[in-house]
Structure 1
Amino acid sequence: MQQRLDYWKAEPALLKAVLDLDTAARESGLDGGLVHLVKLRASQINGCSYCVDMHSREARRDGESEQRVQLVSAWRESPLFSPRERAAFAWTERLTRIADGPVEDAEYEAVSAHFSEADLVKLTVLIGVINVWNRVAIPFRTVHPVIGGESRAA
């Protein structure tokens, strides 16, 4: 697979604005581990290999265990995640799949039980910005680096 377009070269000012929003969301005061795992979960849902690779590596680099990183996609069945993390994952899934229908009161109440109003805004913006990155990386085929050897792609 080859990248279709270098979007940083094509529109640097706009991508810088997205990067600035990403930085603001990442540095907003949410737990850094949660930030990595939320970005990973949204990227898994969207099928963005570039972002799954990047956020998996960043999470491990910043102290997440390999086991927790591997189990993000199966968070419902794993005992390794706190109630707050579970609420964040459920919110991430719901907002990433926003076209499935309205966000119901019960879903809002469930996440609100674990996040202050300010933190809920921070989490929601974080989810929005990773979805923007996924929606830029996927159609332009951003290719993640091959680490530890040759690509096995056909």
Structure 2
Amino acid sequence: MEKRMKIFEVEPEGYKALVGLEIYVNKTELTHTHKELIKIRTSQINGCAFCLDMHTKDARKYGETEQRIYTLNAWRDTPFFTPEEQALLALAEEVAQISGHVKDETFKRAVELLGEKYVAQAIILMVAINSWNRIAISTGMMPA
């Protein structure tokens, strides 16, 4: 894939609006671990190399282990993730693949383990990372 445009130069106001969502997410109660797991897993599903590169580096900076990063795409088959992380990852997968809808049981499990406010904040993050993935992929952003 070749770089197609720098969208922040072509449409700075739209880009700035999405940055505003990111600023909000950074002020939420979501832990760094939860944020990065959601960003990495969503970026895996969407196939966004730019975001995978960025967020695996960020995850390591916040103390995430190589083992968990490497097995994230198979999280259901490992003992490495907490029930709360599993609930968030299941929700993130269903939000990323929204045409299949978010199942009631997935949503209820997340709320049961994390509370309604935390899940609401997580969904906003999930929407944001899906947006960033789509911008990066459609404009040809490449990892440095």
TM bucket (normalised to shorter chain) is: over 0.9
Map residues 73-152 of structure 1 onto 2, 5 A cutoff: 73-100=73-100, 102-145=101-144
Map residues 20-39 of structure 1 onto 2, 5 A cutoff: 20-39=20-39
Please identify which structure carries the higher helix content. 2
Give distance in 1, aligned partners of 2:17 and 2:4. 22
Please give the per-residue CA displacement for 1:84-141, whole angstroms capped at 9, x wherever unaligned: 00000000001110012x3232222121111211111100000000000011110111
Map residues 46-61 of structure 1 onto 2, 5 A cutoff: 46-61=46-61
Give distance in 2, aligned partners of 1:104 and 1:89. 13
Please give the per-residue CA displacement for 1:39-86, whole angstroms capped at 9, x wherever unaligned: 000000000000011000110011111111111111001111000000
Give distance in 1, aligned partners of 2:103 and 2:130. 20
Which amino acid counterpart does residue 59 of structure 1 have in structure 2?
Answer: A
1:26 and 1:126 in contact (8 A); partners too: no
Q: Which runs of 5+ in 1 are unaligned?
A: 146-154
**What is the match of residue 151 of structure 1?**
none
Q: Which runs of 5+ in 2 are unaligned?
A: none
Shift of 1:23: 2.0
**What is the match of residue 5 of structure 2?**
5
Give distance in 1, aligned partners of 2:102 and 2:38. 18
Q: CA RMSD in A?
A: 1.0
Give distance in 2, aligned partners of 1:59 and 1:103. 26
**What is the match of residue 65 of structure 1?**
65
2:38 and 2:88 in contact (8 A); partners too: yes
Which amino acid counterpart does residue 31 of structure 1 have in structure 2?
Answer: T
2:94 and 2:102 in contact (8 A); partners too: yes
TM-score by length of structure 1 reads 0.90
2:25 and 2:121 in contact (8 A); partners too: yes
TM-score by length of structure 2 reads 0.96
1:53 and 1:144 in contact (8 A); partners too: yes
SS at the partner of 1:36?
Answer: helix
